[in-house]
């Protein structure tokens, strides 16, 4: 077996939230975790178990109270805010439950925005954004604004935006939370393709059938990893969509 490249390495990550002067919430107690290139991981656990907290740290939106986080060879747990912004721009693609699109900008502009911060020229931006929008099958909606798109289409725009910078990891927090089951499956189909193309994906969900798409399932409980297993029964998009269509 060829040597696998480490993308994420967490060592004894602790995150405490202070509420007022006295109360401390231990959102993450001691999380150690390694994720390799081209892994497809689902993060599960009951409400309040620390999934979003872990996502925020993985996504460089927040820094841990203690512990070390190495992302693609860089120690990010001690970086300044501006450096973290840069890492978010280059290394991470986010997809969230709410689509987080700019409401007054077209799909194309939304997808191209990370390239603005990365300093690409306008023609490069348009070319790259169009290419990615094509890859999520939205080439006929390029000039539409978010309110002119369906929920599934909006999430595909968000997905395209997450992919546009060729990030090291795609982080998705409940990406299908706002979508009905058929649309959810379509989005999961897109994640499957993205994974096949060589991307590393971490997806937070509390729906078992969504988690079944991932190849590895990590369960959190009270801020600690309760289990970390290979998924023995990976759901395939082709099969799943056929089932849903048959049911109707």
Partner 1 sequence: MAGREDKYAKRRLKTSYLSTIVGVTLVLYMLGLLGLIVLHAKKLSDYVKENIGFTVFLNDDVKDVDVIQLQKSLDARQYVKSTEYITKEKAAATYIKESGEDFVTFLGYNPLPSSLEVRFGADFANSDSLKILETELLKNKSVKEVSYQKSLVSAVNENLRKISLIILGFSCLLLIIAIALINNTIRLSVYSKRFLIRTMQLIGATENFIRRPFILKGFVQGIIGAMVAIILLVFTLYFAQKEVPELRELQDAALFIKLFVFVTLMGVIISWASTYLAVRKYLRIKTDYLYYH
CA distances from 154 to 9, 90, 98, 141 (A): 32, 22, 9, 10
Q: 65 vs 231, which CB is nearer to partner 1?
A: 65
Residues 226-245 that bind partner 1 (CB under 8 A): none
Asked whether position 56 contacts partner 1 by CB under 8 A, the answer is yes
Asked whether position 240 contacts Mg ion by CB under 5 A, the answer is no
Dihedral angle over CA of 183, 186, 192, 195, nearest 10: -70
45's contact among partner 1, Mg ion, ligand ATP, none, with CB below 5 to 8 A by partner kind, is ligand ATP
98's contact among partner 1, ligand ATP, Mg ion, none, with CB below 5 to 8 A by partner kind, is partner 1
Asked whether position 49 contacts Mg ion by CB under 5 A, the answer is no
Whether 107 contacts 143, CB under 8 Å: yes
Q: Name the DSSP letter for residue 97.
A: S
- Contacts of residue 178, Cβ cutoff 8 Å, sequence gap at least 6: 97, 98, 99, 151, 155
Residues 19-58 that bind ligand ATP (CB under 6 A): 19, 25, 27, 45, 47-53
Asked whether position 52 contacts Mg ion by CB under 5 A, the answer is yes
How many of the other CB atoms lie within 10 Å of CB of 85? 14
The residues binding partner 1 (CB under 8 A) are 56, 59, 61-62, 81-82, 85-90, 94, 96, 98, 100-102, 113-114, 117-118, 161
The residues binding Mg ion (CB under 5 A) are 52
């Amino acid at each position: 077996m060829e040597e696998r490249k480490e993308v994420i390495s967490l060592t004894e990550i602790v995150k405490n939230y202070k509420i007022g002067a006295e109360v401390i919430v231990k959102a993450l107690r001691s999380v150690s975790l390694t994720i390799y290139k081209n892994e497809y991981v689902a993060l599960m656990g009951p409400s309040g178990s620390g999934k979003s907290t872990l996502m925020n740290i993985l996504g460089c939106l927040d820094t841990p109270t203690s512990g070390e986080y190495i992302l693609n060879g860089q120690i990010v747990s001690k970086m300044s805010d501006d450096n973290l912004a840069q890492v978010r721009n280059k290394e991470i693609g986010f997809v969230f439950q709410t689509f987080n699109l700019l409401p007054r900008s077209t799909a194309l502009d939304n997808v191209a925005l990370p390239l603005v911060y990365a300093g690409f020229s306008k023609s490069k931006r348009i070319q790259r954004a169009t290419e990615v929008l094509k890859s999520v099958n939205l080439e006929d909606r390029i000039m539409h604004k978010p309110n002119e798109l369906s929920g599934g289409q909006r999430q595909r725009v968000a997905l395209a935006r997450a992919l546009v910078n060729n990030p090291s990891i795609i982080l998705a927090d409940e990406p299908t939370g706002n979508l009905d089951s058929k649309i959810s499956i379509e989005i999961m189909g897109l994640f499957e393709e993205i994974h096949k193309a060589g991307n590393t994906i971490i997806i937070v969900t509390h729906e078992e059938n969504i988690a079944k798409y991932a190849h590895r399932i990590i369960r959190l409980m009270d801020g600690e990893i309760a289990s970390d297993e290979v998924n023995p029964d990976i759901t395939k998009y082709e099969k799943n969509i056929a089932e849903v269509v048959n049911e109707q």
